[in-house]
Amino acid sequence: FRKINGVSIIGDVINHGKREYWDPSKSVHYHATLAAGENTLEVQLVRVLMKSIVANGGKFSADHFRKAYVEFMTTPGSHNDTYA
């Protein structure tokens, strides 16, 4: 995996601790780390979008959502999905 200044995007910046599942020589299902019934990343991002709309007075703001998205994706433990 390519690192920039010793940091890997997958595993260090987003998908914390999941870099091993991105090894192209392995055959790993993209939701392998989810428990049965656990929400996928996509579902959790819809929740981030809905919360952003509510926080912005019921109106969509691309800037507000973008900030919420980046915060969610870069916060360790925010989701358990391998896929990004």
Main-chain phi, psi angles of 69, to 5 degrees: -60, -50
> Per-residue pLDDT tens for 22-58?
888 888 888 989 999 999 999 999 999 999 999 999 9
Q: How far apart are the first and last CA of the chain?
A: 15
pLDDT of 9: 86
pLDDT greater at residue 15 or residue 1: 15
CA distance 10 to 82: 10
Instruction: For residue 1, name the pLDDT band (cuts at 50, 70, 90).
Output: low
What is the pLDDT averaged over residues 1-26?
A: 84
For residue 70, what are the contacts with CB-CB under 8 A and spacing of at least 6?
none
pLDDT computed for residue 17 by the predictor: 85
Question: How far apart are the C-alpha atoms of 7 and 9, rounded to whole Å?
Answer: 6
